[in-house]
Structures are given as C-alpha cells and as structure tokens.
Structure 1
C-alpha cells in the first residue's frame, strides 16, 4: 500500500485500534509484521496496550511482550534510550555498531532477535513541547531487508503518528487548521512524496535544485514541520496534496 492510499484509509478511520491495525497490515505487506508504538517522555492518555508506558500500542509475540514488561526491559532497551538522541530512522543492528552498548542493552537486542523480532528498525517522532515518540518495526524473517524499506516505513510511521494524534486529541469545532501553500510549493512536495530528489524535481518542473529546496523549506515553515516527510504527511492530512 502506498502512502497516498494509507492516508486515504487513515482519514476514514476513527478508531485508535483500527488505525494501529491498518499500520500493522501495511507493515506486514512490507515484510515487517511486528510493530510497536510508544510515547517515550510523556504519557499518552489513550493507549491500546495492556502494558505500562511507554508502550501505546504493540503487536509483538505474546511471550516476548510478557518477558519484556515483567523484566522491565523498557528501562534498559537501547532503542528506548537512544531514540531521543537520533533524528533519523535507524536500524537496530546499527546501534551496536555506532554506540558502545552496555551488556544489558545487548541482551535485550539478542533476546528480541531470539523471540522473532529480527532486522528491526525504529522511527523517532518529535512533536510539540519536546515530546518524543517512536514507531518500531521488526520482521520474523531472516531475509528481511529494513534498509531497503526504511523510506516507506518512515513515511508510514509519520502518517500513523499524525493520524493517531488527530484521533486521540481531536480539535474542538472551528479549530481546523488552515495552511495556504503556493502551487509551486505543492508541486515540489508532491514530487518529493513520489520519491524524487530535489534535483529530479527541479528537472521535472524546469526549475533549479536550489529553487526546489527554497519552496520545500517554505512549505515546511508554513506547516510547522521539522522534516520533509513530516511536511508531506501534514499536507496530506490537511488535504493540501
């Protein structure tokens, strides 16, 4: 399922559980059937998980869920610990390569792999007031390649996170946000959403790469986004794209 289709389905979903099931279904199509969503430095008031914070919603093997929370692994999980320091999606295997993990942190990753959470990746999600959330994906298959799917899973995570917030914290009547993007800003965002680089977008629109970047930065500023993918997701949610 592509991002536009996911957005259309998410816009028609008014249940937190149905939205999470939609994310799991899409991730499973990509080969990553194990999914977790957590709020790391605040308590999300509406949670689907029967487990304590930071988990908001989770689809893991039941035995691993029980072990993870009974042993309070979330207090030593390197994904939970490192996510607030990372601005981009990351592979779990990279944590051991880039950081000097403690023995207990390595144990969590090793046991997760043995429990069927292989080739994991996580997407840091930053919101207002310094809030940090994360969506994690893992595969039960030895052949899964998260690096190959990281871009699409990143986009799905941001779209899910934004839609979840809309459902969990709905606006009062009359507070719907209005954002006026120029036609050129919309065109640039649309082509970037299709996976085009700034250079490729410039070739299509017959403008320079710097001009593309200028329009995208303007769109990000108007939308209050901190990244291109967040700007695309927000524009989709506002029916601008």
Structure 2
C-alpha cells in the first residue's frame, strides 16, 4: 500500500465507522476489513484501566467458538502475552513462537484451533481503556514483511472501534461514572497531591466535614475503600 492509497483508505474507512448506528454493526465492519487484509478472523478486546489487579474485559470476536470457550475456561487471559505487549498503544506485535514461548501450551493450542498466524495492535480511548485488535489466519506466513502496514492499519481500526463504542454508549466503554462536580474534581486533585482533609478544607475555604462528605460519596461511586484509591483510579482513567 502506497502513502497515497493509505490516505484514501483511511478517509473511506473513517466514514464507514462514523456511519455505524448500532454496536452489532461494528463486528461485521471489522470482519470486512480484516478479510480485505487477507485474514480470517479477529478479536477486539477492550480492557479497562481499573481495577488495577482485575481490570474488566469485554470481547468482540469472530474467532472459532470452540477456541473462545477454551480460552475462557482455561483463563488464557492470565498468560496471553499479547495482552501485555499491547498495553503500549500503537505497538504492533507479530505472532511468533518466541512471543508465546513462556505461555506453555497456549501457542500450540491456538495453532490447533486454526490460528496459524496473526498480528495484534492496540489503541487507547480518552478514558484510558485499551482496545486490542488481533487478526488471525488459518495459513502461516500471513504477516511476513507486512509489519509496518499491519501496525498502521490495525492501530487505526482499533482507534475507530473505540470511538464507535464510546459514541454509541456501549457498556464496554463505561469505566467509571464521570459525572463529577467541579468541587469534587478539585478535592480529587488535592487528594492526589497528598493533602489531608484539613489541608484541602483550608485550600478550598470549605469545612473539613464538606471535604469528607464528598470523599465518602466518591468512594461509593468508585467502589473503593479509601481516598487514596479514589485518587489513583481518577488518575488512571484520565479524570485528573
């Protein structure tokens, strides 16, 4: 693909994604694009930035159903190196035996399920959710000498997919409620700076009781146990 062809493709593709009115249409459009790239199936995984130790995951996929069930039942999420390597948005990862070397029988099982070759790349949403787009082929060698092309195009497709899910208010994009008042955001900011409730009350010229009241309410909304977690989660999702 030449530079000129890429920009034509980019413009037409963006229009196609902008025209989507239902989330279910996204799966079909992605499948069309990955087939145009010469691949058979895809998985688009949306991973929330919080909770840190057990982030929520949503999956849109055309992978073989048998493989998806196997992946879920064996909790391959915990050992899949693609989920780690793609935390850096825009970085393409070609599936090779070396990439999966530390994942036990994972790669062999994927091959047996028809995933002989593949490529993955990710994008990040404004709320810091990561969207990892992986494409697979039943034929080996489909990614050879195509790293740059696949990296650029998959990153853009992942970015557009996140935009669609966000625009259509899909549950996969609701990381945490972000309907915070200006006062709550101010308290969050100073909490993140390590200020105590007393110090925040003096800085904002409000009572300590008011500071504690807002912090307790935010703890409930974030479903966390203390104000330190509030600040960490708020920073993780780009709220402050």
TM-score where L is the length of structure 1: 0.57
Measure how far apart 1:77 and its partner are.
1.1
Instruction: Assess if the C-alpha contact under 8 Å between 2:89 and 2:121 holds in 1.
Output: no
Measure how far apart 1:29 and its partner are.
1.4
- How far, CA to CA, are the matches of 1:12 and 1:40 in structure 2? 25
Closer, same or farther: CA 124–60 of 1 in aligned 2, 3 Å? same
1:90 counterpart (75, 90, 93): 93
Closer, same or farther: CA 109–159 of 1 in aligned 2, 3 Å? same
- How far, CA to CA, are the matches of 1:73 and 1:25 in structure 2? 27
- Which position in structure 2 is the counterpart of 1:79? 82
2:65 counterpart (38, 62, 65): 62
The unaligned stretches of length 5 or more in structure 2 are: 1-7, 51-55, 174-240
Instruction: Assess if the C-alpha contact under 8 Å between 2:124 and 2:159 holds in 1.
Output: no
CA RMSD of aligned residues (A): 2.8
Instruction: Assess if the C-alpha contact under 8 Å between 2:122 and 2:158 holds in 1.
Output: no
How many correspondences in the alignment?
Answer: 157
2:35 counterpart (28, 43, 52): 28
- How far, CA to CA, are the matches of 1:57 and 1:118 in structure 2? 20
- How far, CA to CA, are the matches of 1:146 and 1:14 in structure 2? 36
Closer, same or farther: CA 165–118 of 1 in aligned 2, 3 Å? farther
Closer, same or farther: CA 66–86 of 1 in aligned 2, 3 Å? same
Measure how far apart 1:130 and its partner are.
3.6
TM-score where L is the length of structure 2: 0.57
- How far, CA to CA, are the matches of 2:158 and 2:72 in structure 1? 23
Measure how far apart 1:9 and its partner are.
1.6
Closer, same or farther: CA 16–86 of 1 in aligned 2, 3 Å? closer
The unaligned stretches of length 5 or more in structure 1 are: 44-52, 171-241
Closer, same or farther: CA 92–145 of 1 in aligned 2, 3 Å? closer
